[in-house]
Amino acid sequence: MFDKLEDLVARLEELQNLLSDPAVVSDQDKFRRLMKEQSELAPIVDKYNEYKAAKQTIEDSLIMLDEESDEELRELAKEELNSAKEELEACENALKILLLPKDPNDDKNVIVEIRAGAGGDEAALFAAELYRMYVHYAEGRRWKCELASVEEIGIGGMKSVTFMVTGQGAYSVLKYESGVHRVQRVPETESGGRIHTSTASVAVLPEAEEIDEIDIPEKDYRIDVMRASGNGGQCVNTTDSAVRLTHYPTGIVVYSQTEKSQLQNKAKAFALLRAKLLDLEMQKRHDEEADLRKSQVGTGDRSEKIRTYNFPQGRVTDHRIGLTLYKLDKIMNGEIQEIIDACIAADQAAKLSKMQEQS
């Protein structure tokens, strides 16, 4: 591990020199690529420097304890030694996590699809609440949300909704939301006061970029244009601006209706299609790497029931990590960071354990 860290220190120094070279600065693509690499390496090198500083403090404290006879100074040296040992252990654990293989999609924007599952109208109402939960969460992080398509029902629910989230590292945190979400509550339409269980599925797809080489030949798709449909408001247009894109090889159909311009809806539809094709490729790789998939916390299987929202008890339980929180109102208002942080920690712990087994 330490040989690799020394290589990273040398590489960061090389990057800093390159980024001050006028020839590199004038090449915007290369400059952006090197800046991205620098931003990824800097936290690792900073933590390694902290590790080395703690190690030096331990050595200095041991020398002082060996040479010093003054009891007060010896006590001071012992305190510094204990503190430095704790710091060294914390730095070593942090470095192990920082050096874990990184998901190449983590820095990407995402496309989120929410679909009502079992439960009829109640499932559609829950899907709409999940949509608002994610929008509030994204707004809290100052990320941008753009609606791509929505199929509404008259009582405020959504049979399906697709939206884009633009923000640094959006996929790195929202990927843990993929799966089946279950709600347990008494529906407003239920006169007998019985608790019903309904579900909604969430799919989080990384946005496909040019470097992903998602090629879509013209012969492989069909574009249909039509008027947007809906229950009124901004989703209903009076021109043929909505776009439906059909991909023949996979049978994928995407629909974009929220923009007034046909060109804008077409661009969104192609972005959705590229993301879905990239996701298919990722799922294929996950299936081929079954062991890796098992070590991840709910980022591979869309049919997995990941979370239950129990309204009578004000309880939210994430089944993958055994976490239960009694703050349902806050969570439905977008305060889901505690759950995401716990998923990330569990995922990292599983990967570290896997690496230790292999070493």
Q: For the segment 72-89, what is each residue's pLDDT rounded down to a tens digit?
A: 889 999 999 999 999 999
Q: What is the pLDDT of residue 300?
A: 42
Confidence of residue 124 (pLDDT cuts 50, 70, 90): very high
CB 57 within 8 A of CB 86: no
Residue 182 β-bridge partners: 199, 308
pTM for this prediction = 0.73
Greater model confidence, 275 or 341: 341
Give the number of other Cβ atoms within 10 Å of residue 134's Cβ.
23
Q: Which two tokens mark 257? A: 């209706």
Q: What are phi and psi of 222, to 5 degrees?
A: -130, 140
Q: What is the pLDDT of residues 281-308, one digit of tens each?
A: 777 766 655 554 444 454 444 567 999 9
Q: What is the pLDDT of residue 235?
A: 43
Minimal CA–CA distance to 164: which of 256, 86, 78?
Answer: 256
Average pLDDT over residues 116-121: 89
Q: What is the pLDDT of residue 325?
A: 96
Averaged pLDDT score across all residues of the chain: 85
Average pLDDT over residues 309-324: 94
Is the pLDDT at 344 greater than 50, yes or no? yes
Which range, 158-162, 247-251, 262-266, 279-283, has the best average confidence (pLDDT)? 158-162
What is the set of domains in the chain, with CATH numbers? 2-98 (1.20.58), 110-300+335-349 (3.30.70.1660)
Length of the chain: 359
- Residue 237 CA from chain centroid, whole number: 33
Q: Is 201 helix (H, G, I), strand (E, B) or coil?
A: strand
Strands of the sheet with 196-206, listed across from one edge: 144-152, 158-166, 110-116, 196-206, 179-185, 305-310, 315-318, 323-325
